[in-house]
Amino acid sequence: MNITNEQVKNMYQTMLKIRKFETRAKDLFAEGKIPGFVHLYIGEEATATGACANLRDEDYITSTHRGHGHIIAKGGDLKNMMAELFGKETGYCKGKGGSMHIADATKGILGANGIVGAGHNIAAGAGLAIQYKKTDQVCVCFFGDASTNQSTFHESMNLASVWKLPVIFVCENNGYGISVSQARHQAITDVSVRASAYNMPGVTIDGNDIFAVYEAVGEAVSRARKGQGPTLVECKTYRWRGHFEGDMTVYRPNGELDAWLKKDPIPRIEKYMLENNIMSEAEIANENAAVDNMIKDAEKFAEESNVASLESALVDIYSDMVEEGRVR
């Protein structure tokens, strides 16, 4: 599987957007401008970016509580995202969902999710819908290592395999379920081996290598589009920040974060671009400045938007879909 220079540049820009959005969200949360919780994706940018680089607008993703990276990688709008984090009415959910519930049906983003393991079944459902409609869409399901201990993971993997659903299960194994290390919550080190229990291919890759992710998920997407069924791709990665902002990360052994900082995916793609004359130092600096401006614009948009009104509290909360169904 090869790649054009333009694709590499786009992936770099996406990674920068995620890194800078999250870094700014961290500061804004510390300043008290963002209510609720934020779970940041810093350090894991290559996984969402490499996976979503294989997708089209009409393809689906399901996300997690740590969802900003997935949404940006799938083409989510930075302004609407930041406004949602601020609880403003211009946000994706009109300010009522916050960080953990961002969704954009027009981009196939079926939603971040505050419940660990809740995305698996939604992804399998999306896969079933795709199969029913006989299109060649796919659904990428992002989730963490600890969520694979939940029944939802096993139920979804089982049905996806039995029915050959076009779902790519992308496990972001960052080594922790909240504050519990993988060694203490799982009797395995490689989540990918769980695929064999469901008779589907499972692979483990370096989740901080954008090209490894792009390639492995690309093969899985191609397989799914051809009706050959689901795949489990485990991406080994690491979140630099705590589980949530404010988590002191006392559970991390000394030196662990430092070791992962050396595997930062962004300098790795920069090195590749420089070595292969895809971008010069100056162009990289310009790209960084351009993305800085995008984040500033998103923040300004969020700051200047109105807080969701009290009167709108119940709007969009209840659906009349059942009633509509009866009428038909």
Q: Which x/- pattern, by CB under 8 A, does the window 146-175 give for other proteins?
A: ------------------------------
Helix (H, G, I), strand (E, B) or coil at 305: coil
For the chain, counts of helices (H) and of strands (E) = 12, 7
Pick the piece of the chain touching other proteins (CB under 8 A) from 23-31, 62-70, 154-162, 202-210: 202-210
Decide the pairing of beta strands 180-181 and 60-62.
unpaired
First to last CA, the chain: 48
Our finding on whether 205 is near other proteins (CB under 8 A) is yes
What are the φ/ψ torsions at residue 55 (nearest 5 degrees)?
-105, 160
Beta carbons of 66 and 101 less than 8 angstroms apart: no
Chosen residue from 155, 215, 247, 287 binding other proteins by CB under 8 A: 215
Our finding on whether 192 is near other proteins (CB under 8 A) is yes
CB of 190 to other proteins, least distance (A): 5
Separation between Cα atoms, residue 77 and residue 87, nearest integer Å:
15
- Among positions 236-265, residues that touch other proteins (CB under 8 A) are 259
Chosen residue from 195, 279, 291, 298 binding other proteins by CB under 8 A: 195
Centre a 10 Å sphere on the Cβ of residue 308 and count the other Cβ atoms it contains: 18
What are the φ/ψ torsions at residue 61 (nearest 5 degrees)?
-135, 150
Chosen residue from 37, 240, 244, 272 binding other proteins by CB under 8 A: 272
Our finding on whether 193 is near other proteins (CB under 8 A) is yes
Question: What burial class does residue 187 get, using C-beta atoms within 10 Å of its C-beta: 0-12 exposed, 13-18 middle, 19+ buried?
Answer: exposed
In this structure, which amino acid lies at residue 121?
Answer: N
Chosen residue from 2, 31, 319, 323 binding other proteins by CB under 8 A: 2
Helix (H, G, I), strand (E, B) or coil at 188: coil
What distance lies between CA 82 and its chain's CA centroid? Answer: 16
Pick the piece of the chain touching other proteins (CB under 8 A) from 85-93, 147-155, 214-222, 317-325: 214-222
DSSP 307: B
Closest to other proteins by CB, 97 vs 218, is: 218
Closest to other proteins by CB, 125 vs 218, is: 218
Closest to other proteins by CB, 91 vs 127, is: 127
- By CB under 8 A, the count of residues binding other proteins is 31
Which residues are near other proteins by CB under 8 A?
Answer: 1-3, 188-190, 192-193, 195-196, 201-205, 209, 211-212, 214-216, 219-220, 223, 231, 233, 259, 272, 275-277
